[in-house]
Amino acid sequence: MCGIVGYIGYEQATPFLLKGLEKLEYRGYDSAGIAVFNGNRIEVIKSKGELKNLRETVSKHKIEGTVGIGHTRWATHGRPSDINSHPHKSCSGKFAVVHNGIIENYIQLKNKLMNKNINFVSETDTEVIAQLLEYYYKGDIIDAIIKVMSRMEGSYALGIINSDNPDEIIAVRKESPLIIGIGDGENYIASDIPAILSKTRNIYRLENNEIAVLKRDSVKVYNLDKELINKEKIYIDWDISAAEKGGYEHFMFKEIMEQPKAMRSTISSRVKDYDINFDDVKITVDQLKNLRKIFIVACGSAYHAGVVGKYVIEKLIKIPVEVDIASEFRYREPIVDENTLVIAISQSGETADTKAGVIKAKELGARVLSIVNVVGSAIAMESDDVIYTLAGPEIAVATTKAYSTQLAVLYMLALKFAKLLDKLSDEQYKYYIDELNALPDKIEQILSNKEDIQYFASKYFNCKSVFFIGRNIDYAISLEGSLKLKEISYIHSEAYAAGELKHGTISLIEDGTFVIALATQDFLFDKMVSNIKEVTTRGAVVLGLSCGHENELKAVTNFQFFIPKACDIMLPSLAVVPLQLFAYYVSSMKGCDIDKPRNLAKSVTVE
């Protein structure tokens, strides 16, 4: 969702701001803008639509200065338009503000200011912040910010410049993420690491209710009592090329191809000689023995990883697992107590609903373990234990390598807990570890057959609808395959538990309907054959996906794709790869914006 950048130094600010915004495009946006102090006043340029529109305007109206802020906006309050784009200025033009998040009580605040004859030009909640700052400013910017913060309800990461103090940028955080990049004679703000990675690897992460004052040679961080806070510097060791396309046409394809490497890193960081090292996870064996229930709470693809996790954990640990969409979990009354473990899964570690789910679970007394990709992110910080996936930066909105590494962590977690609880014999345990270690090579094998998937995509990229069916853990993968396809190709798709199809959805199957049937589970293969026949007899064209049963599958389907054999619980890691490739190729053939699908955001930091 929205992106923030800011620069203060001795160079021109605009090139950095535009470059930084480009690096944040992946978060999803529908307009962009920058504000730069030009020596006399703050100049603002903003444009609806893609960043190239902003670039064009900037190239016509040069905007010079060494202090500036920039923003990519994903509309929440007020439609996407030039006027509603950020930065927003206060009425005299003294303050310019960029904002990620939502000010929930902005209407009351706006009415209050309008009653004092302050005029508004946009429909946004953000303009209220700029106007409030000017209203409360009596010569001390920090005092004004603290006052404004005490009036606002909601979530916000703010970048602020003001013409009374032209040699500083103010950064503020409440709920929405914001980092400060520490340079040499220059400093930066950003909502996400890729924006500043080409400049510095040293950052501070702002915590809730912290206010940072950036000058060219210093960064000072204050709390709401205006006391200085000592911040710990974090070093980002991401490979810079991981956040670049590196010759690939799309980040999504690059990230699909990076899955073997991401899996290897995630697995090898934990598994050595049949030992799974989770020493940093502090949950004790006694706590494990007392567990009555596990909840998995997440959104989007992370939720789908959780659905796989349910099958795996219930099979290996024999503890009931409930998987909940975080936005549902947070507003219902889940039966959670101190004998519950809540596993939160999130690539970004910033998803608002998942974070709220974590906070709620802790309030209810549960222990929270999170599986997160971004080090030091909000969900990681809120959790009792955190296991990082080592996927590296993921830029494409549609997740692939982060999802795969989430599965890897879930397998390792289930195996480790099962071992600690004596639920597996040594022989079974070693078998699963061998299977786990073999996954990256098998994924590589599937990727080397990607042209087969490209062929299926070429036949069906024009179809109106695709149905994914599977049973058990294949159903979990159907959910992810269907989401991948619809989010980047805009083709309607549904995932159905194959046995449930006949209770309604089968009425949608007609001549030529395209169905992808997952039949990787040996013990359910015959059942799947029956379900496949149910759709083919009604005219469906079926692509069957399995790991064996060649002849039987060929007899009932129009096309087939075979993945290597693996143990049942780990087959999802293999089955998902052809489905990711299918979504990618279909979307590419349709000419869609694969890395930045319409209306979607990579990191959803609002409800």
Residue numbers annotated as active site: 2, 602
The minimum distance between CB 295 and ligand G6P, in angstroms, equals 16
Q: Which residues contact residue 47 at a Cβ distance below 8 angstroms, ignoring those fewer than 6 apart?
A: 31, 32, 33, 53, 54, 56, 57, 82, 85
The minimum distance between CB 379 and ligand G6P, in angstroms, equals 8
Phi, psi of 489 (to 5 degrees): -110, -10
The minimum distance between CB 579 and ligand G6P, in angstroms, equals 14
The minimum distance between CB 374 and ligand G6P, in angstroms, equals 8
6 versus 357: smaller Cβ distance to ligand G6P: 357
399 versus 404: smaller Cβ distance to ligand G6P: 399
Strands of 13-166 (E only): list them: 31-37, 42-48, 67-73, 88-89, 95-103, 154-162
Cα distances from 123 to residues 43, 54, 79, in angstroms, run: 20, 20, 8
The minimum distance between CB 603 and ligand G6P, in angstroms, equals 6
3-state secondary structure of 32: strand
Backbone region of residue 288 per phi and psi (left: phi > 0; alpha: psi in -120 to 50; beta: other values) = alpha
Comparing every residue's Cβ against ligand G6P, the nearest one is 300
Residue with tokens 């087939």: 560
224 versus 325: smaller Cβ distance to ligand G6P: 325
Q: Which residue, 216, 129, 107, 118, is CA-closest to 174? A: 129
302 versus 586: smaller Cβ distance to ligand G6P: 302
Pairing mode of beta strands 95-103, 154-162: antiparallel
The C-alpha atoms of residue 284 and residue 24 are separated, in whole angstroms, by: 40
Angle at the Cα of 171 (from 168 to 173), degrees rounded to 5?
170
3-state secondary structure of 25: helix
27 versus 419: smaller Cβ distance to ligand G6P: 27
The minimum distance between CB 497 and ligand G6P, in angstroms, equals 21
Q: Which residues contact residue 589 at a Cβ distance below 8 angstroms, ignoring those fewer than 6 apart?
A: 457, 458, 461
325 versus 364: smaller Cβ distance to ligand G6P: 325
Other beta carbons within 10 angstroms of residue 195's beta carbon come to 28
31 versus 370: smaller Cβ distance to ligand G6P: 370
CA 25 to chain centre: 13
Q: Which residues contact residue 273 at a Cβ distance below 8 angstroms, ignoring those fewer than 6 apart?
A: none
The minimum distance between CB 335 and ligand G6P, in angstroms, equals 24
For binding to ligand G6P (CB under 6 A), which residues are involved?
Answer: 299-302, 346-348, 351, 354, 397-399, 600, 602-604
Residue count of the chain: 607
The minimum distance between CB 478 and ligand G6P, in angstroms, equals 16
Q: Which residues contact residue 571 at a Cβ distance below 8 angstroms, ignoring those fewer than 6 apart?
A: 473, 474, 520, 521, 547, 563
The C-alpha atoms of residue 134 and residue 63 are separated, in whole angstroms, by: 24
14 versus 354: smaller Cβ distance to ligand G6P: 354
187 versus 351: smaller Cβ distance to ligand G6P: 351
The minimum distance between CB 146 and ligand G6P, in angstroms, equals 31
How buried is residue 202: exposed, middle or buried, by Cβ count under 10 Å (0-12/13-18/19+)?
middle
128 versus 380: smaller Cβ distance to ligand G6P: 380
Q: Which residues contact residue 490 at a Cβ distance below 8 angstroms, ignoring those fewer than 6 apart?
A: 590, 592, 597, 598
The minimum distance between CB 227 and ligand G6P, in angstroms, equals 33
Q: Are 494 and 468 in contact (CB under 8 A)?
A: yes
Q: What six digits make up the tokens of 459?
A: 């036949």
Q: What six digits make up the tokens of 121?
A: 């030009």
Q: Which residue, 51, 33, 50, is CA-closest to 42? A: 33
Q: Which residues contact residue 542 at a Cβ distance below 8 angstroms, ignoring those fewer than 6 apart?
A: 515, 516, 517, 532, 535, 536, 556, 557, 558, 559
In 3-state terms the chain splits into helix, strand, coil percentages (rounded to 5) of 40, 25, 35
508 versus 600: smaller Cβ distance to ligand G6P: 600
Identify the bridge partners of residue 4 per DSSP, sorted by sequence position: 71
The minimum distance between CB 326 and ligand G6P, in angstroms, equals 8
